[in-house]
Amino acid sequence: MLTGRPSNWISVMTPTRTMVFSNAPALPGHQPAPPVRTDLTGCPWHDVKSMLRGVGLRPTRQRMALGWILFAKGDRHLTAEMLYEEATKAKVPVSLATVYNTLHQFTDVGLLRQVAVDGSKTYFDTNVSDHHHFFVEGENELVDIPSAEVVVGNTPSAPEGYEIARVDIVVRLRRKAR
């Protein structure tokens, strides 16, 4: 019998989801692997809660709602303004400042990847794997390029006391004139 609990109390085991994140050092000349999201249930609400807890973030209502909007539709590229607009349409009561803060928190723990396109335009990518992007000018659309299609060679040596965190390539596209 368990102490401190009534004799008719039944212990119910709740299934858990495990997410594996690796901080193993990268081989020289290689970028570290991004966090791997494993054992997702297919239920976006529960998966978001599991992702947040797995990286040490408390699953608040606002983080849960924004995470659900971000991750429920698969790999996407969004600006803070785009996410704010989607949240507003979904009747999620958040300010634009909260959206920015949440996106940066998610980026800091490896759930999102920040992609700077112009000095004033930043996208957040739900695909944190090693890959690059096409940016379609005039349409403000970011499209993934598989990492196998881009070979980066002869990267410069980092200055003393620094290391290369990652290399981002954004290939700008425009429609051909007809």
Q: Distance (Å, rounded) from C-alpha 118 to C-alpha 170?
A: 10
Q: What angle separates helix 80-89 from helix 96-108, to the nearest 10 degrees?
A: 120
Give the pLDDT score at 39: 52
Give the pLDDT score at 62: 93
Per-residue pLDDT tens digits for 112-147: 999 988 777 899 999 998 888 989 888 888 898 877
- The class level of CATH for 44-173 reads mainly alpha
Sorted by where each begins, the domain ranges of the chain are 44-173
Give the pLDDT score at 5: 38
For the record, the structure tokens of 165 come out as 């965190």
Per-residue pLDDT tens digits for 58-110: 999 999 999 999 988 889 999 999 999 999 999 999 999 999 999 999 999 99
User: CA distances (Å), 27 to each of 30, 77, 137, 169, in order?
Assistant: 5, 29, 36, 21
Give the pLDDT score at 165: 85
Q: What angle separates helix 61-71 from helix 96-108, to the nearest 10 degrees?
A: 70
Give the pLDDT score at 147: 74
Per-residue pLDDT tens digits for 21-72: 333 344 344 444 444 454 555 565 678 888 899 999 999 999 999 999 998 8
Whether the predicted pLDDT of 157 surpasses 80:
yes
Give the pLDDT score at 100: 96
pTM: 0.69
List phi, psi (to 5°) of 40.
-80, 145
